[in-house]
Amino acid sequence: DTPTTAASVPECRSICIEFLDTWGSGVVVGLSAIRLLDPNGDDIEDVEAALEVPSDVAATFAASADEDAGLRGGSTPLSALFDADATTAWFARLVPGLKLRLDLPEPKRVASLLVANAGIFDRSCGARTVAITRDGSETLTEDLVLRKTPGTLGALLFQTVRLSDLCAGGANATTVAHSVTARAAIGLRRAAMLQQAWPDFYASAAPNVALLPVGYVFELRVSAIEPPSMVDVGMGSDSASVPAAASEDLVVRAVRFEEADDGAKPDRFF
């Protein structure tokens, strides 16, 4: 990630994420992975995660833990957030006030939070709107919208939240949250394809119509017309003559590649 001026980022001991709603599920919420970056863009190691549940819903949350794990085919511990594995994720019963607290081993400057939403089992369980606080008291944003994972691609797709740009009280939350929307990301990716080779993950990823370029292949050929130099283009009584083309064949081609059926990727997009 882009380095941030260290002086603009205060030290903290924890970052807390409160889950307000999901992308459809009203029962379970989940995330695939989380990373914390320092102002130099380096990963902060040895981060520990813990859940905070309000006392009035703690009994409901605890009683539903085994049931929720069974519905998803097994337990999903918080350690799944840090294993860098796209095939694992953390899930929990969505209750009012549920918070995920990320504890740092010592006071550090956290410039960015990278979140990969739930992309396995059921994408509707992915977190949608969250509130973020620093050290349990300083509110950075109250309505940050996390993007829904487009599909299980075999790779973690992170969304960057620049905590260094958020004002206390969340004054800039909307600007930061929507600075990189799905539509903008698609446009930037397609523009980059004009100059760059395809990303490696396209070779093995399941096709995603919203992200892969599609189109048609066509050819327009304009051929020279032999003498005489004037050609009759009349229509009934309204006939007329126009100069014939004197140049060689002109071929105009427009090509947009699609992914091959065998999964092979084009070398370039132009």
Instruction: Note whether 136 and 201 are same-domain residues.
Output: no
Are residue 148 and residue 26 in the same domain, yes or no?
yes
Query: Same domain for 38 and 159?
Result: yes
Count the domains in the chain: 2
Q: How confident is the model at residue 73 (pLDDT cuts 50, 70, 90)?
A: very low
Please give the structure tokens belonging to residue 160. Answer: 């960057």
Residue 139 CB contacts under 8 Å (≥ 6 apart), including other chains: 131, 132, 133, 168, 169, 170
CA distance 213 to 256: 7
Same structural domain, 83 and 202: no
Evaluate whether residue 33 is within a structural domain.
yes
> What's the rounded Cα separation, in Å, for the pair 12 and 143?
21
Question: Is 132 within 8 Å of 163 (Cβ atoms)?
Answer: yes
The yes-or-no verdict on residue 5 having pLDDT over 70 is no
Percentage, residues of the chain above pLDDT 90: 23
Q: Name the nearest CA neighbour of 92 among 31, 33, 34.
A: 31
Average pLDDT, the chain: 69
pLDDT at 36 over 60: yes
Cβ count within 10 A of residue 66 = 10
The pLDDT score that the predictor gives to residue 60 is 75
Instruction: Answer yes or no: do 51 and 98 share one domain.
Output: yes
Residue ending a domain, choose from 150, 180, 210: 180
Same domain, 75 and 206: no
Range of the domain at 89: 6-180
pLDDT at 70 over 60: no
pLDDT digits (tens, 9 = 90+) for 93-145: 888 999 999 999 999 999 999 999 987 767 788 899 999 999 988 888 888 99
pLDDT above 90 (res 15): yes
Closest CA to 111 of 33, 181, 19, 8: 8
Rounded CA separation 19/29 (Å): 8
User: Residue 29's closest CA among 89, 82, 75, 86?
Assistant: 89
Q: How confident is the model at residue 82, as a pLDDT?
A: 93
pTM: 0.59
Burial class of residue 183, CB neighbours in 10 A (0-12, 13-18, 19+): exposed
**CA-based R_g, the chain, Å:** 27
Which range in 55-69, 168-182, 189-203, 251-265 is most confidently predicted, on average pLDDT?
A: 55-69
